[in-house]
Chains A and B, each alone.
Chain A
Amino acid sequence: MNVLEMQNIRKSFGDVSVLRDISLTVKKGEVVAIIGPSGSGKSTLLRCATTLEKIDGGTIAICGRALASNVNGKEIFAGKKDLVEIRSMFGLVFQNFHLFPHFSVRRNITESLIHVRKVPKAEANAVADRLLAKMGLSEKADAYPCQLSGGQQQRVSIARALAINPEILFFDEPTSALDPELTGEILKVIRELAEEKMTMVIVTHEMNFAREVADRVIFMADGVIIEEGPAFDLINNPREERTRAFLAGY
């Protein structure tokens, strides 16, 4: 089954057409990397898939649940109740973490479990502690985000996204806000998730990482997919001139 299915997505901001008829499907266990120049619409695509933006046209389904569908040319969006359920099937990791600064690390992870998913507190704490151990942050459970390095904060935000046990995880340039020496720890975590067959869509500028971890790479420019293919092939032997020119910069 396709975990993510996006068909013919169109999205404009005012007169600016940012996504122009983009389709993207992701199978269970697949890791897809999205690369492309800045301003090409990569973040917008993720934001459309994660309910942060409303598309102008096209269809989106996550695990078969329609987020946006098209009936006789009319866009129909999921209602409030469906949205809550659809949001329990994916996680999103932001470039700038967006942790809740007034909550401890543990509470950043448990808050939505307890108050949205209605998981008992003890159980939620157990989930948080297990994920923090996995992220190598057990001793930081009671710290506050401001006391952590950028890399540690990003690992907490990955743990927060993993807490609901999502079917698919989206990353929007998860290492771009980090000092170069801290990117490695995040890439390592994502690599481990890939080994566990976590379904992931990752917007990234780390070409070596994309080639190594992704099954498939998508090259986007100006709101369209220029080229896509197996990660190794696309990065080592791009077919399109645009892709070649872009990769030459790395």
Chain B
Amino acid sequence: MANLQSTILQLLTGMKFTILIFCLTLLFSLPLGLLVAKGRMSGNRIVSGIIRVYISIMRGTPLMLQLLIVYFGPWYIFKIPLRDLTIGDLDYRFVATIIGFTINYAAYFAEIFRGGIQSMPLGQYEAAQVLGFSKSQTFFRIILPQVIKRVLPPVTNEVITLVKDTSLAQVLAVSEMFIAAKSLASAQVSVVPFVVAGVFYYIMNGIIEIGMNKLELKLRYYS
């Protein structure tokens, strides 16, 4: 029993990192995804072409590989010894993790946003234009709020996937929850730490689902 308690406590320390990776990734990748979506729809063919390639690489290769490349890339390509770099008490392993997750999830979010933006009827733009709204006012006041409602379900799916994907940070030896569970399991020769970790992930996703449902209900005031 005491064993289980200490397992939970040790996993909670790992969970701190899991939640941190999760929150920082969302914080950066949602706005970046919007920017990428705009670039993908840009009339400038070079911009939209580059972004199209970026998105297809992010979606077409394993996230784990992308994390490794972000981590080792600076050293192999530029001989910059980032691996030993620390920023405050964050070491580059953690920074690389956040960068890797952010650029990967931004690509997925961008495609979702693009679909949402393109599903908006032309009439909304025309009505706004005739009323004198500028392009950016039209986007932020008229289009984006409606797009958010439309993309909420697919965004929720990605957010739930992100919770589980945080476990991939283990390839850079970031001490998130999964790595903690693994070392506990081998020390205790038991699957209990894995089960406890699984319950944590499950609870986290349960909370996310409840939150997103609430948001969806809140946006149901119009159709």
Q: Which residues of A contact B (CB under 8 A)?
A: 50-52, 84, 87-88, 90-92, 94, 96, 98-102, 111-112, 115-117, 144-146, 160, 164
Contact = CB atoms under 8 A, between A and B. Distances in A.
Contacts of A91: 130
Given A94-B126, A115-B137, A115-B141, A102 B149 contact: yes
B133 interface: yes
The SS class assigned to the B binding surface is: helix
Contacts of A96: 123
A102 B137 CA distance: 15
B137 A116 contact: yes
Contacts of A117: 132
Given A98-B123, A100-B124, A51 B145 contact: no
Contacts of A87: 129-132
A117 B134 CA distance: 12
22 contacts: A50-B130, A51-B130, A52-B126, A52-B130, A87-B130, A87-B132, A90-B130, A94-B123, A94-B126, A94-B127, A98-B126, A100-B127, A100-B128, A100-B142, A101-B222, A102-B146, A115-B133, A115-B137, A116-B137, A144-B221, A145-B222, A164-B131
A112 B131 contact: yes
B5 interface: no
Contact of A92 (B130, B141, B145): B130
Nearest to A146: B223
A116 B142 CA distance: 13
Given A52-B130, A98-B127, A146-B223, 20 more contacts: A51-B129, A52-B126, A87-B131, A91-B130, A94-B127, A99-B127, A100-B124, A101-B146, A101-B222, A101-B223, A102-B145, A102-B149, A102-B222, A111-B131, A112-B131, A112-B132, A115-B137, A116-B137, A144-B222, A145-B222
